[in-house]
C-alpha cells in the first residue's frame, strides 16, 4: 500500500509497476526497462522512487534497482546470479525502513540482506536460514522483521 491508500502492483506482463486506486482503476503506470527482467516485488521509497527486485534463471542478472517515476533505472545492486556477497539468487521480496534502508529476501541464498538507500551492501541480517525467505514485513514501530519462509514458518527478529 502506498501512503495515499493506493495499491502498488508489480507486473511481469507487461513489465510495469501499476498504482491502483480504491476502485481498482489504474491511477499510474510505470513501464520498466527490459533490463529489469522478471520483476518480483517493488516498494515506494520516501524519495518517490521505487526499489524493485528482479531476476530469474542461471547466468541472468539478479538485482535490486532504484527506478524513478518515469521508469528509468538510477542505481542497481547485484549482478549475475550467485552466492557471493554482492550477488543475489532470486531476490523475491523487499521491505523498507523509515530511512529507506532496504531489506531483501534473497530466496535461493536463504538469507536476508540489508542495503543502504544508495544500494550499498551493509550486511546479511540473516544468513543460512533453514528455509527460503519469500516474504518480508517490517513493523516500523516495534522494529521487528517478520520473514515468511517457504516451509510455512515465520521467523521474527528484532532489528
Check which CATH number belongs to the domain holding 19 and give it: 2.120.10.30
Bridging pattern class, strands 73-80 and 91-96: unpaired
Q: Which domain holds residue 25?
A: 7-158
Structure-model confidence comparison of residues 2 and 95, the more confident one: 95
Predicted pLDDT of residue 3:
82
Cα 156 to Cα 9, 21, 33, 136, 159, distances in angstroms: 25, 31, 35, 10, 10
Cell 514458518 found at: 153
pTM confidence score? 0.92
The total of structural domains in the chain comes to 1
Structure-model confidence comparison of residues 156 and 107, the more confident one: 107
- Across the range 119-126, mean pLDDT stands at 95
- Is 58 part of a structural domain of the chain? yes
Following CA atoms 29, 33, 35, 36 in sequence, which dihedral angle do they give, to the nearest 10 degrees? 0
Predicted pLDDT of residue 87:
93
Amino acid at each position: 500500500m502506498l501512503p495515499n491508500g493506493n495499491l502498488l502492483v508489480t507486473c511481469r506482463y507487461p513489465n510495469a509497476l501499476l498504482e491502483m486506486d480504491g476502485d481498482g482503476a489504474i491511477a499510474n503506470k510505470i513501464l520498466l526497462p527490459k533490463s529489469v527482467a522478471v520483476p518480483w516485488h517493488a516498494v515506494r521509497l520516501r524519495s518517490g522512487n521505487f526499489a524493485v527486485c528482479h531476476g530469474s534463471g542461471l547466468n541472468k542478472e539478479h538485482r535490486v534497482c532504484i527506478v524513478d517515476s518515469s521508469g528509468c533505472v538510477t542505481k542497481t545492486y547485484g549482478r549475475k546470479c550467485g552466492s557471493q556477497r554482492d550477488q543475489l539468487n532470486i531476490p523475491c521480496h523487499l521491505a523498507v525502513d523509515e530511512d529507506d534502508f532496504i531489506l531483501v529476501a534473497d530466496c535461493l541464498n536463504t538469507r536476508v540482506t540489508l542495503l543502504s538507500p544508495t544500494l550499498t551492501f551493509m550486511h546479511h541480517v540473516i544468513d543460512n536460514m533453514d528455509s527460503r525467505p519469500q516474504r518480508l514485513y517490517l513493523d516500523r514501530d516495534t522494529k521487528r522483521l517478520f520473514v515468511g519462509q517457504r516451509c510455512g514458518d515465520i521467523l521474527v527478529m528484532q532489528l
